[in-house]
Amino acid sequence: MYPDRVVSGMRPTGSMHLGHYHGALKNWITMQAEQPCLFFVADWHALTTHYDDPSIIEKATWDMLVDWLAAGIDPTQATLFIQSRVPEHAELHLLLSMATPLGWLERVPTYKDQIENLANRDLATYGFLGYPLLQAADVLIYRASEVPVGEDQVPHIEMMREIARRFNHLYGKEPGFEQKAQEAVKKLGSKRAKLYNELRTAYQQDGDDDALDQARAMLEEAGSLSMIDRERLFGYLEGSRKLILVEPEAKLTAASRLPGLDGRKMSKSYGNAIALREPKESVTTKIRKMPTDPARVRRTDAGEPARCPVWQFHQVYSDAPTQEWVQKGCRSAGIGCIECKQPVIDAIVAEQEPMHERAQPYLDDPSLVRAIVADGNETARKLAQETMRDVREAMGLSYT
């Protein structure tokens, strides 16, 4: 089996805001310490919707990478790279496109939503229809076991799984596979071979998923097997096919709890965002100007936190005693709104201080970011090339 890799990408949208931080980056930071992670800038994806104005992509890419590093993505733990610097993604996309039914792409729910949401753009393009397939290539090329996604992206992962399954079914045939697999079983040693056969039967005849898990775990531990025999036995467990592409699982991430300054979703286009590296003075001004409970016209009017976006910020940033102070003070008009906002300002400024510090060396010397990404591109490319070797071979394109 392959290591439990996580793959995740973001479109280069330029400077990131605190909504991105609390929605995605914090998860990335947690994951990078737990398992191998590959994080990429999805510059080709940006072109699927912004093909008519590519001028912003390059700057947006570098700005976003600085933000990732500022937020705490650690290049000694995770691999950071740019999608278009690993052209194997495009090759896999092309090869997968040969066998992907059009209907699979058209039924992805976000396809129709996006067409409606971005009505000002002409998205009746081949590239836009194919972007979930490009996403599939982005993940399958690293044989990732997990993809962190929000609820709305789960259908994309489902489609990736179908694509991987279809690929393995169509191309996972190996001449003499059955015989080679049985020889590999013998290499397990008699006790393990017996158990393997029992578990395989339990899975194939009775659909026993536990048996499948148990057999996989046993193969992981079997030191006597070569990599290729292990792969054969993984494939043999589920049928008579070799596993070339791995079906990834969706790793559900909690949606960001941090709304924009006006209570709607935080977005640069709504003008309600706080940038990840927003200067301190600007944070203070923005929070001071934040709308509050509309019923609290005068300082002496009692308010209701549930109707106030500042309260949502307190829920993210304040500890229990401060939250109680807000609840009581607001409802009794014991505190004023300016007073209420101060702990939020202080907490955001404290959160951002290390981000500013971490960003500074990269701003002073942009070649540092270039070097990190060059390393990441190379690491990612090596992994992608390994998969592509198997893919080409399986599709009869290795020309050896």
Q: Which positions touch ligand SF4 (CB under 6 A)?
A: 292-293, 296, 303, 305, 308, 310-311, 326, 330, 335, 337, 340-341
For tokens 């109707």, name the residue: 307
Neighbour tally for 252: CB within 10 Å: 13
One-letter amino acid of 324:
E
Question: What are the φ and ψ backbone dihedral angles of 363, each rounded to 5 degrees?
Answer: -75, -40
Q: Which is nearer to ligand SF4, 137 or 308 (CB)?
A: 308
Tokens standing for residue 244: 């070339």
CB of residue 249 vs ligand SF4: minimum separation in angstroms?
40
The alpha carbon dihedral of 100, 106, 109, 111 has a sign of positive
Residues in Cβ contact with 340 at an 8 Å cutoff, skipping those fewer than 6 apart: 292, 310, 314, 326, 329, 330
Helical (H) or strand (E) element with 9: strand 6-10
Q: Which is nearer to ligand SF4, 342 or 385 (CB)?
A: 342
Query: Any idea what the Cα angle at residue 86 is, between residues 8 and 390, rounded to 5°?
Result: 90
Q: Which is nearer to ligand SF4, 75 or 305 (CB)?
A: 305
Q: Which is nearer to ligand SF4, 10 or 340 (CB)?
A: 340
Whether the CB-CB separation of 373 and 80 falls below 8 Å is answered with yes
Query: Any idea what the Cα angle at residue 383 is, between residues 168 and 223, rounded to 5°?
Result: 75
Q: Which is nearer to ligand SF4, 18 or 345 (CB)?
A: 345
Q: Which is nearer to ligand SF4, 200 or 296 (CB)?
A: 296
Q: Which is nearer to ligand SF4, 191 or 289 (CB)?
A: 289
Q: Which is nearer to ligand SF4, 16 or 308 (CB)?
A: 308
Neighbour tally for 267: CB within 10 Å: 14
CB of residue 68 vs ligand SF4: minimum separation in angstroms?
32
Rounded-to-integer distance, Cα 82 and Cα 282, Å: 31
CB of residue 322 vs ligand SF4: minimum separation in angstroms?
11
CB of residue 274 vs ligand SF4: minimum separation in angstroms?
16
Rounded-to-integer distance, Cα 273 and Cα 262, Å: 9
CB of residue 314 vs ligand SF4: minimum separation in angstroms?
7
The alpha carbon dihedral of 349, 352, 353, 359 has a sign of negative
CB of residue 296 vs ligand SF4: minimum separation in angstroms?
5
Distances (CA, A) of 377 to 15, 75, 121, 337, 367: 21, 12, 31, 49, 15
Q: Which is nearer to ligand SF4, 327 or 379 (CB)?
A: 327
CB of residue 347 vs ligand SF4: minimum separation in angstroms?
14
CB of residue 346 vs ligand SF4: minimum separation in angstroms?
14
Distances (CA, A) of 103 to 48, 61, 100, 109, 111: 19, 32, 8, 12, 12
One-letter amino acid of 394:
A
Q: Which is nearer to ligand SF4, 225 or 345 (CB)?
A: 345
For tokens 């070339």, name the residue: 244
CB of residue 311 vs ligand SF4: minimum separation in angstroms?
5
- Nearest CA among 186, 137, 167, 185 for reference residue 241: 167
CB of residue 273 vs ligand SF4: minimum separation in angstroms?
19
Whether the CB-CB separation of 216 and 236 falls below 8 Å is answered with no
